[in-house]
Structure 1
Amino acid sequence: MEIINQRIILFFENNFVRYCILDLNLPYILHHNLYMENLHLYDFLPSGNGYKVRLLLTQMGIPFERTEVNILKGESRTPEFLSKNSNGRIPVLEVAPGKYLAESNAILLYLSEYTEFLPYDRYLKAQVMQWLFFEQYSHEPYIATSRFWVSILGKVEEYRTALEEKREPGYAALKVMENHLKCHNFFVDERYTIADIALFAYTHVADEGGFDLTPFPAIQAWIDRVKAQPGYINITHEPQLCYDY
């Protein structure tokens, strides 16, 4: 780290230099990034977990290379891929040559540090993490898994009993979100953060797994707010490598 003056700090981090503009009147740190090398994302385009990372990178204006890993063809189970993530799952982000980070929400935290997408305040940051844990434990196992079986594998009949078992806990998670969003525009600090990105990824396509969002008007309004954020891309959009400096 190098302090340029009282308002600008340079962070030398892996494959890029990040400089932060501090403003004590703001609850977060404004940022800009100067990149020395590209980040490399390995993911599967229909994946909501991969979409989380693609969306954040695009909204931050971070250039990255992307390799499609077709999990339906077993490409995440090859020796080459397992050398990047021994758990055999996507997404995986190469943050420096030979240095890999897996788990979508861990990647979100890594990328958003010192930016407006993750609060600087300790309590607010913990609230973001609270929703990230909620997404992984109470939301994704039901909403995301149902979508995978129904819309990606197309095996509704084969998984019919399992899908029925997913309904109650899936709707319970949506009810938790609905109750929170009745009183808040976003999940933390009334502003758009990675908590919203994490929960948006599978919620906005919940219907593809058989979940009806009609009874959840607050969620529907929040989905519209997320889609209105600068740099928004849809889940099937494949970003092109580009540089903005």
Structure 2
Amino acid sequence: MPISKFKAQITAAGAALLLTACMTTNEVTGRSQFITIPPSQDAALGLEAMNEVKKTADVETNTADAKRVQRIGRRIAAISDNPGMPWEFVVIDEDVLNAWALPGGKIAVYKKMVDSFTSDEELAAVIGHEIAHAILRHGAEKMSRVQAQNMAIAGVGVAVGATTEDQQMSQIAVTLGALAAQGFVQLPHSRAMELEADDVGTRYMARAGYDPRAAVRLWKKMKAMKDGGGGQPAWLSTHPTDDQRIKRLSDKMDSYLSEYNPR
């Protein structure tokens, strides 16, 4: 067998073995996840990434805004499925309507988000969503999928090159493989993770004593704040549409309210 064809077969076999070996079941949702990173590494990865953020961004940890985010975050994290995670909640002083979660419970909320939602319950919907991302290991899952995607794309190039012995055709195959992976695997899965975090995060905020109906108010306000509604079509976005999120949360509200524990 030619070495090039043998290499193509080894690449394909390696990718298949990686996919099989790294499938796990999420204990919170019951969903199967492909994750190559062990949970023991989450905290180290998140800490390293947060330290890098602190080198380049204006990160607040001791301001009134930061203390408000920390108070809400700690209250929700305490009733989550992993209260012992090394949680850290910070505010980034930038005019950005966003928030994010790193592996290991490192969570940031941008100042514009804090200023835009003066209700603790609406801000709890934001923070609960990010806590859910951390608990569900979505960051590690995304990283793992990118690793597997890159391996698969490389395999396509090797296989096509071995078959055609045409370098240009091999490069075209790699490019098309990348586009297909982004359009049909990476982006839809990201939307699924966002909806999953909406669901689990809203349950967490309800259990922590924040009215879950605030999650619907949050997304209605987010929709109204967007200029002209001229964003990307839903199928080209890593996030669901605001209308999709509002409907999904509204449809499940009775379930969330049944877990609401007012304080």
Greater relative contact order (Cα < 8 A, sep 6+): 1
Q: Give the strand-richer structure, 1 or 2.
A: 1
TM-score class, shorter-chain normalisation, is 0.3 to 0.5
Q: Which is higher, the Rg of structure 1 or of structure 2?
A: 2
